[in-house]
Chains A and B, each alone.
Chain A
Amino acid sequence: MSATTLLIAAMALALASFAYGRAKAFSVAQQHGGMKAMHSLPSHYGMMVALWCALPALAIIIGWKLFEPFIVSNLLDSTIPASIIDAGPKSVELYKNEIGNLVDSDRIANIQDPDKQIAAQRLSSLQQISSWALVVLVLSAAIAGSALALKRIAPTTQARLTVERIARIFLISCASLAILTTIGIVFSVIFESMRFFQQVNFIDFITGTKWSPQTAIRADQVGSSGSFGAVPLFVGTLLISFIAMIVAVPFGLMSAIYLAEYASRPVRNVVKPLLEILAGIPTVVYGFFAALTVAPALRGFGESIGLSVSSESALAAGAVMGIMIIPFVSSLSDDVITAVPQAMRDGSYGLGATKSETVRQVVIPAALPGIVGGILLAVSRAIGETMIVVMAAGLAANMTANPLEAVTTVTVQIVTLLTGDQEFDTAKTLAAFALGLMLFVVTLTLNVIALHVVRKYREQYE
């Protein structure tokens, strides 16, 4: 019986327990002179019984799935030939994996090696025993749990409080999952980065100007010792983000000003959602657009005026990324501009200023902190954007400020380092996690600053 069927069976039992518990609450109430005598509602008693049935069963399934592989693998130790054990823990691991694969693919009968045959048979019998033990244990726990809870149905049992306490624990744990995610992110990138920095000096990584992550596969190979100087990546990332902001800030800001200050309500109601569409288009679509439409067009245009433009130019990727970020800048700026109190505008009009003068000299300065915060958020998004640069920017780590040349970015390198190569303890793959750590730290810092600025700004006018 698979874990899924078992889970479904446990849930069915819980449902039945609910119905039975509820019915029993009614009958108990009858003996004590009606529902008024009971502490809680019948459905609370039902819930209580169902929880007593489901929670132990669930705990057993989860615990079993967590620890079963270790226990089974340890029980298998006795069947491993001494020669393999002598060869070290790595080969034992390999041997066990092989046996596991043989059993999983149901090829025990075809095994030639008698040692392996024995091991495989033992493993398969262990797995069978384990799965049946689990079924028996889970079902008996579920039935015992609900039987116990059924006995407790009485006028004095505070079923509602029990149920609500458990519900509250569930709510709290769900809310805390966000913290858990952050911890997971921080630990996974830091842990792997530490392993990387054991092999590569941190200072070399952060100040080195040569990036070529190809390490030698064999010791006698020449010329590819691998160098991990990440400065060209940082330069490339900043260049593309800068180009993106040059596109996004003027267009986004001016659209926001027009929509907030000039546009009539109907125009606003139509244009705003249309702009939001730009934000809803998947980034892989922008990447395709940049690589197949914008880049060749730019190249053709450059050739016609005698400029040599790389087909993976930073300009194409940056410009398309800028288009993607326009709605982001515009909706954030729109929010802060509309939050500026009307009294400030009225004061400016009263002094004889025109609308544009009011906007430029009163509204924008007043909204500036909020706008800056919004732009910082947009920068953080540009730095972390992946698909557009993966598809439209280059792979070669050039250190240049020329937007017509190909550059590479941090995110591009993470993707190239981690797709394809499966070996997990080379400096090459670990480098991706070090880059991820940089990315995470930089974007997090930008976000924290931006959110702080925006919050401060809001407080000022509230």
Chain B
Amino acid sequence: MSNPTDRTETTALVRQSLQKRYAAEKRFRAYGIIAILASLGFLVILLASIIAKGTPAFTQTFVKLDVQLDAETLGISDSPSVDELRGANFNGVIRQTLRDQFPDVDGRKEKRDLYQLISTGAEYRLFDRVEADRSLIGTTLSLWVPADDELGAVIKNGDDLTRPDDIVTRMSDAQIGWAKQLQDKGQLEVRFNSTFFENGDSREPELAGIRAALAGSAFTLLITFCLSFPVAVAAAIYLEEFAPVNRWTDIVEVNINNLAAVPSIVYGLLGLAVFINFMHLPRSAPIVGGIVLSLMTLPTIIISSRAALKAVPPSIREAARGLGASDLQVVTHHVLPLAMPGILTGTIIGLAQALGETAPLLMIGMVAFIVDIPQTVTDAATVLPVQVYLWADSPERAFVEKTSAAIMVLLAFLVAMNAVAVLLRKHFERRW
């Protein structure tokens, strides 16, 4: 035992150091809070920047034109066939309308600048109207057509068309002046952008939409679900309920865990080498994308299904067996229905992961420029995240907002899927 003076000295030392130690304690705690706040801050910045960039894409600027559908200017007869109509000079009519509206515009360059105010999609809109109703030929049709993306961007940034200095635009002063005249006459309007949800991809930002990508995503996910869900559930049932404890089962288990951590791009290489080059399945098709993604999501679904099966208490199995059920009956009649909510939750989370996946689909050629909406699982298609990737590469400034808007749609789907998963878990989860 040390003497009393020693002990007081130790106590004094400890007392002295206490303040420092408490300060260290506070600092440590603060680091933790800072780390969490910073991580959540990143999340907020990420989402805020995308929402800020993407929101304008949900509206579109339209220009009202009073188009004179003169059969002569169109270069067609009075009651044309569809083919004849297809060859009609709708572009010329629209240009004529613009020239009539601004009679003082002169010279090739000025005229070209004027035409640029209107999107190239205007003539297709006109064609659709005339094709639906031939009696319009010879009359004056007042039609709202989409404006060019540059004009759209300027309008959205500020209502008054006094040339804003802080906005970088390719528009000339003259173009802004014309646009101002149109606006004063009430011929400019900003509306909800339904084109974005109805069209496929386009080189023109104001005509580009996500419909084709959405359809491609839906087909791909459908294939993924149809393949991965039954196989994963069967594999999980076998491993959890039937598999004997031996080397083979061990290998399968380790294998599944490792597959879950294989980089997704490697699955793309597998898809390219096996399904496209060896089996000659069609390139860019949702069927190949779906197969690759289902191989990728299998481990995820198997692991969560096993957890759900494991959570069903053994007493239920024993009771069923006691009543004379066979092994398979125990599983299909009792264990599987009880584990189903958990299995479905895992499946939805796996599918959400598949919905956001891009890299393996690049490998199997789903990066095509898709204008037409795919009708079957073997048509060339693209998916939403790949569309995001393609648009992000486009030089036009208006594609930035399109990209952000597509991301918002993608995130909305992911949020919805995860919400369903959470609800499923909350609603059906049983504590034994």
Contact = CB atoms under 8 A, between A and B. Distances in A.
Interface of A: 160, 163-164, 167-168, 170-172, 174-179, 181-182, 184-185, 188-189, 191-192, 250-255, 257-259, 262, 271, 274-275, 277-278, 280-289, 291-293, 323, 326-327, 330, 352, 354-357, 359-360, 377, 380-381, 383-387, 390-391, 411, 414-415, 418-419, 424, 432-433, 436, 439-440, 443-444, 447-448, 451
B2 interface: no
A278 B258 contact: no
Contacts of B411: 281, 285
Contact of B385 (A259, A282, A411): A282
B366 to A, nearest CB: 10
Contacts of B274: 184, 188
A410 B299 CA distance: 25
A329 to B, nearest CB: 10
Given A352-B14, A443-B266, 6 more contacts: A171-B242, A280-B414, A415-B265, A418-B362, A447-B257, A451-B257
B220 interface: no
Given A189-B273, A415-B265, A444-B262, A175 B238 contact: yes
Contacts of A390: 359, 362, 389
Nearest to B43: A278
Which of A168, A283, A387 is packed against the most chain B CB atoms within 10 Å? A387
Given A258-B36, A447-B258, A188 B252 contact: no
A26 B235 CA distance: 34
Interface stretch (B21-29, B168-176, B206-214): B21-29
18 contacts: A164-B328, A172-B238, A185-B266, A275-B39, A288-B50, A288-B407, A326-B39, A355-B25, A357-B25, A387-B358, A387-B389, A390-B362, A391-B393, A418-B363, A419-B365, A436-B266, A440-B262, A444-B258
B299 A178 contact: yes
Contacts of A380: 261, 263
B273 A415 contact: no
Interface of B: 14, 21-22, 24-25, 27-29, 31-36, 38-40, 42-43, 46, 49-50, 53, 230-232, 234-235, 237-239, 242-243, 251-252, 254-259, 261-267, 269-270, 272-274, 277, 295, 298-299, 302, 326-328, 352, 355-359, 362-363, 365, 367, 385-386, 388-389, 392-393, 400, 403-404, 407, 410-411, 414, 418
Nearest to B261: A447
Contact of B270 (A185, A274, A360, A377): A185
A188 B50 contact: no
A181 B292 CA distance: 10
Nearest to B31: A254
Nearest to A432: B269
B285 to A, nearest CB: 15
A192 B388 CA distance: 30
A176 B299 CA distance: 12
Contact of A185 (B262, B299, B389): B262
A336 B255 CA distance: 23
Contact of B328 (A168, A281, A391): A168
A406 B238 CA distance: 49
Nearest to A377: B261
Given A164-B327, A182-B255, A291-B392, A171 B237 contact: yes
A162 to B, nearest CB: 12
Nearest to A442: B263
Given A250-B35, A254-B34, A255-B36, A354 B403 contact: no
A418 B363 CA distance: 6
A289 B52 CA distance: 12
A282 B40 contact: no
Contact of B251 (A179, A191, A354, A386): A179
B269 A415 contact: no
A285 B389 CA distance: 9
A175 B407 CA distance: 36
Nearest to B296: A181
Contacts of A168: 238, 242, 328
B385 A284 contact: yes
Contacts of B43: 274, 277-278
B265 A280 contact: no
Given A174-B235, A288-B388, A182 B359 contact: no
B263 A283 contact: no
A254 B35 contact: yes
B377 to A, nearest CB: 10
A330 B36 CA distance: 10
B392 A391 contact: yes
Contact of A354 (B25, B49, B269, B298): B25
Nearest to B276: A424
A258 B265 contact: no
Contacts of B407: 284-285, 288
A354 B295 contact: no
Nearest to B27: A356
A51 to B, nearest CB: 14
A178 B385 contact: no
Contact of A414 (B34, B40, B269): B269
B263 A439 contact: yes
B13 to A, nearest CB: 12
Going nearest first, the 3 A-B pairs with the smallest beta carbon separation are A384-B263, A258-B32, A282-B356
A178 B235 contact: yes
Nearest to A160: B326
Contacts of B273: 188-189, 191-192, 433
A182 B259 contact: yes
A251 B38 contact: yes
B25 A292 contact: no
A447 B362 CA distance: 25
A168 B241 CA distance: 11
Contacts of B31: 254
Given A164-B326, A171-B234, A258 B269 contact: no
Which of A323, A356, A391, A443 is packed against the most chain B CB atoms within 10 Å? A356
A92 B39 CA distance: 61
Nearest to B365: A419
A258 B359 contact: no
B263 A188 contact: no
Nearest to B49: A293
Contacts of B50: 285, 288-289
Contacts of B234: 170-171, 174-175
Given A291-B392, A411-B263, A439-B263, A184 B270 contact: yes
